[in-house]
Amino acid sequence: MGTTGQASALSYRYEIPDVHEIDVYESHHGYEGLKKALEMDPKDIIEAVKESGLRGRGGAGFPTGLKWSFVAQDTGKPIYIVCNADEGEPGTFKDRPLMELDPHQLIEGMIVAGIALNAIAGYIYLRGEYAHSGRRLAKAIRQAYDKGYLGADVMGSGKRYDLTLHRAAGAYICGEETALLDSLEGRRGQPRLRPPFPATAGLWGCPSTVNNVESIAAVPFILRHGVDWWRQWGTEKSPGTKLVCISGEVKNPGNYEVALGTPISELVEMAGGMLDGRELKFFCPGGSSTPLLPADAADTPYTFEDIQEAGSLLGTGALMVYSDQTSVVSVVRRFTEFYEHESCGKCTPCREGGYWLSQIYQRIDTGSGRMEDLDLLEDLCDNIFGRAFCALADGMVSPIVASLKYFRDEYVEHIRQGRSPYGVEPRRDIATVTFTNAGGYEPAPPAAPQEEFDTEPTSEPAGQA
């Protein structure tokens, strides 16, 4: 296990004034990861990402380097890089500051991914509501073309790589990678049947990869500083740092960059602790589609493997915290209504099941619940989980099943009293702009300095992690 607590890697430039402007970005080691990538054999870039152990930050935690190695080369078809910037999972707001404050970091990552996979073009599929991110990215892309980082001859390498920003219309399902591809192609955003997977038949039937903003943005850092630097944080199976969005009943909700492996209770303390007079009751470790866990699981280290062992998922890194004054029934009802609304309707278990689940929650929450509704909920969830076309349906039932497992007594009391035994509504004012990291302008070097660090300008203030 590496160091735990706050870290400063992907977010280290956030507080540098005007770092969204290319000149400022360049003066803080911007595009150095790309320079390094252009000196490497594309296969070695993929190998470095594999060795770093970087796991996808979009929800499933699939190893990024392995995913890239699956992209079919030499098929005669063009290869595309697609960045998933749809960020629709409730409680998730980590990609937005990255794109607003440091957009060149993502653009650099997209170009590096393009070089690694011999791609001809990349697309950033941006959540429709993220207007400011859109403005910042559009300007940054223009600047990158003007400076020769994009276009017909990337940094004089003779390689062509184009980048397009696609503003989406705003549908949660379009974050699912194959629905995203359909939407990008101009069709209704609904998931595709797999196989074939995007690595062989993705965008316009061509080999592609779809990766989350944070996954892509991490790659230039890894190339510039080396695999050991990345592995100074986290565990063997979950190395590196993570941008965590902490929301709910804590004093300082917001974004925190942390070392993977930091205990969840420490993350809650980092966010100022629980609101006065409240105690932790339950939390969703990785967004509303991950099974919620009770307070006694709060010492779980924040890693993919430990959270899985505890019965949930790290998901998108959205830690949603709830207190002893909050009704678990009301919270899960709101989640369920969200998923019912966002179901794309392609398959019956999700389309019809979501509607039924919402109806049952509505009657329990408003005083018309029946004791047999609890078995009915479980039975419905059992018939939906693993039987729908995509993971939206699994995400819809996961918090329901977990809440019945840990808080069945509360459901019974809620039905018996005809209302929640708790008076407080869940907190809804989630801060999306605050950001905190370990501080400092430059991530700390690994114990044995690597070659790359020898070339760093000495004027750069040293930070700490």
Ligand X SMILES: Cc1cc2nc3c(=O)[nH]c(=O)nc-3n(C[C@H](O)[C@H](O)[C@H](O)COP(=O)(O)O)c2cc1C
C-alpha neighbours within 13 Å on the C-beta side of residue 160: 6
**Cα–Cα distance between 149 and 156 in angstroms, integer?**
9
Q: Which of 168, 173, 258, 332 binds ligand SF4 (CB under 6 A)?
A: 173
Please tell me whether residue 347 binds ligand SF4 under the rule CB under 6 A: yes
- Interface with ligand SF4 by CB under 6 A: which range of 88-96, 110-118, 356-364, 387-395? 387-395
Nearer to ligand X, 280 or 344 (CB): 344
Interacting partner of 88 out of ligand X, ligand SF4, none (Cβ under 5 to 8 A depending on kind):
ligand X
Q: How far is CA 42 from CA 34, 69, 80, in A?
A: 12, 11, 15
Task: Count the Cβ atoms, other than its own, within 10 Å of residue 74.
Answer: 7
Q: Which of 298, 307, 332, 392 binds ligand SF4 (CB under 6 A)?
A: 392
Tokens 């039932």 belong to which residue? 397
Interacting partner of 109 out of ligand SF4, ligand X, none (Cβ under 5 to 8 A depending on kind):
none
Q: Residues 177 to 206: which contact ligand X by CB under 6 A?
A: 177
Q: Residues 215 to 234: which contact ligand X by CB under 6 A?
A: 215
For ligand SF4, the nearest residue by Cβ is 350
Interacting partner of 7 out of ligand X, ligand SF4, none (Cβ under 5 to 8 A depending on kind):
none
DSSP output for 255-322: EEEEETT-BHHHHHHHTT-BPTT--EEEEESSSTTSPPEEGGGTTSBSSHHHHHHTTS--TTSEEEEE
Interacting partner of 212 out of ligand X, ligand SF4, none (Cβ under 5 to 8 A depending on kind):
ligand X
Closest residue by Cα to residue 176 from 357, 400, 388, 403? 388
Please tell me whether residue 60 binds ligand X under the rule CB under 6 A: yes
Interacting partner of 58 out of ligand SF4, ligand X, none (Cβ under 5 to 8 A depending on kind):
ligand X
Structure tokens at 389: 């076309």
Nearer to ligand X, 176 or 340 (CB): 176
CB 92, min distance to ligand X, A: 7
Nearer to ligand X, 314 or 444 (CB): 314
Q: Which of 8, 11, 52, 84 binds ligand X (CB under 6 A)?
A: 84
CB 145, min distance to ligand X, A: 25
CB 289, min distance to ligand X, A: 8
Binding mask 187-206 for ligand SF4 (x = CB under 6 A): ----x---------------
Please tell me whether residue 390 binds ligand SF4 under the rule CB under 6 A: yes
Provide CB contacts within 8 A for 303, sequence distance 6+. Answer: 234, 235, 237, 238, 260, 261, 314
Please tell me whether residue 210 binds ligand X under the rule CB under 6 A: yes
Burial label, 457 (beta-carbon count in 10 A; 0-12, 13-18, 19+): exposed
Nearer to ligand SF4, 125 or 230 (CB): 125
Task: Count the Cβ atoms, other than its own, within 10 Å of residue 421.
Answer: 12
DSSP output for 350-403: HHHHHHHHHHHHHHHHTT---THHHHHHHHHHHHHTT-SSSHHHHHHHHHHHHH
For ligand X, the nearest residue by Cβ is 175
Q: In what order do the strands lie in the sheet with 254-259?
A: 293-294, 280-284, 318-323, 241-248, 254-259, 435-436
- Interface with ligand SF4 by CB under 6 A: which range of 66-74, 75-83, 119-127, 338-346? 338-346
**Count of residues that interact with ligand SF4, criterion CB under 6 A:** 14
Please tell me whether residue 66 binds ligand X under the rule CB under 6 A: no
- Interface with ligand X by CB under 6 A: which range of 73-81, 248-256, 258-266, 387-395? 387-395
Task: Count the Cβ atoms, other than its own, within 10 Å of residue 362.
Answer: 14
Q: What are phi and psi of 326, to 5 degrees?
A: -105, 140
Nearer to ligand X, 217 or 444 (CB): 217
**Cα–Cα distance between 169 and 187 in angstroms, integer?**
12
Task: Count the Cβ atoms, other than its own, within 10 Å of residue 423.
Answer: 9
Please tell me whether residue 343 binds ligand SF4 under the rule CB under 6 A: yes
Task: Count the Cβ atoms, other than its own, within 10 Å of residue 300.
Answer: 20
Residues near ligand X (CB under 6 A) are 56-60, 62, 64, 67, 84, 86-89, 172-173, 175-177, 210-212, 215, 390-392
